[in-house]
Amino acid sequence: MTLLEAEIHSVVRIEQISLAKSRIQAIRLGLGPGTMVQVVQKLPRGPVVVMQKGRNLAIGYELARHIVVNVIS
């Protein structure tokens, strides 16, 4: 499942980032494989807001669709 498909309030672990350009962008934000985040908000065809280590990050639609995650809770 991708970050776009994750439910609001769920905690997910990033497993992989499928596109090299997206991987570089995500790592700059501190979102590499193994990182756990909570989905805070999702906007249709817009950003996904996640919380990681007490900070909110808005992940753009295109980046979020390349981030593969597993649901933790």
pLDDT (tens digit, 9 = 90+) per residue, 45-65?
Answer: 999 999 999 999 999 999 999
Q: What is the pLDDT of residue 24?
A: 92
Per the CB < 8 A criterion, the answer to whether 52 and 35 are in contact is: yes
Domain boundaries, the chain: 3-71
Q: Which two tokens stand for residue 4?
A: 């776009």
Model confidence at 73: pLDDT above 90? no
Residue 41: pLDDT band (50, 70, 90) is: very high
Q: What is the pLDDT of residue 66?
A: 95
Mean pLDDT of 6-10: 97
* CATH architecture under which domain 3-71 falls: Roll (2.30)
Number of helices (H), then strands (E), in the chain = 2, 5
